[in-house]
Amino acid sequence: MTTDIDDLMKKLVSLCKRRGFVFQSGEIYGGLQSSWDYGPLGVELKRNIEAGWWDFMVSTRPDVVGMDSAIITHPDVWKASGHLQHFHDPMVDCMKCKSRFRQDHVEGETCPECGGELTEPRDFGLMFKTSMGALEDDSATVYLRPETCQPIFVNFSNIVTATRQKLPFGIAQTGKAFRNEITARNFIFRSREFEQMEMEFFCRPEEAGRWFDYWVEQRLQWYRGLGIRSGNLRTRKHDESELAHYADSCVDIEYTFPFVTGGWGELEGIANRTDFDLKAQMEMSGQDLSFQDQAGNQKIVPWVIETSGGIGRTMLAVLLDAYREETVEGRERVVLGLHRDLAPIKVAVLPLSRKLDDRAEEVFRMVSPHLPSQFDVTGSIGKRYRRMDEAGTPFCVTFDFDSLEDRKVTVRERDSLGQIRTPIETLVDTLKDILASGWPDECGGA
């Protein structure tokens, strides 16, 4: 039976393919399960999310610096962090229908799919292993990082020495992480190769509680700033039994992902990781990763507040939140009401008739060095508007026959459908103004 939820996800997945946001990886060979390629619009949206995060977390703050670590990591990093011991889930297989489940997701000893008998639980390693160099023996084994945060701890002393940061301060990085998830599903919500945005904030132990509350608030504010409706976001504190072995406290920021049982799914975790990671890496490496406090002339192993989110999950939340179907002037349209800062294309330049292509292209060439733009000549003007609505493009600029005479074009706004007629000469400034401060009410709309 098709439910509304299935329907919404199907429609979104189909739009993502149609408009070039996300494709199934290896599709021409039948597809590689839960592996996704980002198309021309998807890569722009993903980059806009990442750039916005970097701006909010790093560029605009004196107390956070960035880094970019290698993906292939020294195995001892993961021994010290506990990943090699703890990073696996016990699994059971159905002997009849061959379905596989996480043991903690199954009640009783029979298969939830077919009632068949289940195997004994078996461990399933979640880290991707590979070999470095020509030999493939155990000494050559290395791992693709399953998270971006451990390389931050390992580089703690390098960064303190290089930047002379004083406590409290943060180190941030974004990038790929790899987990051989057993149940990777729900489009880009859970995949085996994904991108994280993480920040580790180092502080004095006695100040960790205050910084924890501060970062929960900051992170929530960031998600709201992406235009995600407040009612679709919430925070959830982990109770004792849920806490990871290293965490003192943890709050998840959740979104109303329609496919998650109970309605809410994790977007990001904010955790007080205490001094667990620095101490563990110190013990394994024998190196001193403490912070030398000049003022108090003492050595401190700082406590750490971590903010850890996913780019793909954020992108899915943004797309779900922005997707809408509506009827305007008797015609149906699908709109991605993306926040202007996130929209992959900010401006589409459209000649009303093929006869105007050359003159309209001059307008496109004027706008494109300043704003991400697209020039679209194929199909009726109505069809081109619909395509841009689906791509989430906030403004369409139409060049018509009058434009030849009055040197003006029409700017149409995606959501209100309001229009203004504006001189070509000042078009770039006009577009920059309305992108920065919004569509003026007096310009009207539906």
- Residues lying near ligand ATP in the complex (CB under 6 A) are found at 147, 179, 181, 190-191, 194, 196, 266-269, 308-310, 312-313
Find the shortest distance in angstroms from Cβ 265 to ligand ATP. 7
Q: How far is CA 91 from CA 8, 105, 182, 326, 356, in A?
A: 31, 9, 8, 44, 63
252/389 with CB nearer ligand ATP = 252
36/202 with CB nearer ligand ATP = 36
268/277 with CB nearer ligand ATP = 268
Asked whether 404 and 360 are in contact (CB, 8 A), the reply is: no
151/309 with CB nearer ligand ATP = 309
Find the shortest distance in angstroms from Cβ 175 to ligand ATP. 12
Asked whether 79 and 73 are in contact (CB, 8 A), the reply is: no
35/130 with CB nearer ligand ATP = 35
Find the shortest distance in angstroms from Cβ 191 to ligand ATP. 5
Find the shortest distance in angstroms from Cβ 185 to ligand ATP. 10
What residue number has its CB nearest to ligand ATP?
310
Task: Round to whole Å and give the CA distance between 323 and 336.
Answer: 5
181/415 with CB nearer ligand ATP = 181
Find the shortest distance in angstroms from Cβ 4 to ligand ATP. 23
Find the shortest distance in angstroms from Cβ 278 to ligand ATP. 19
Find the shortest distance in angstroms from Cβ 340 to ligand ATP. 24
194/303 with CB nearer ligand ATP = 194
Task: Round to whole Å and give the CA distance between 269 and 295.
Answer: 33
Find the shortest distance in angstroms from Cβ 342 to ligand ATP. 17
101/364 with CB nearer ligand ATP = 101
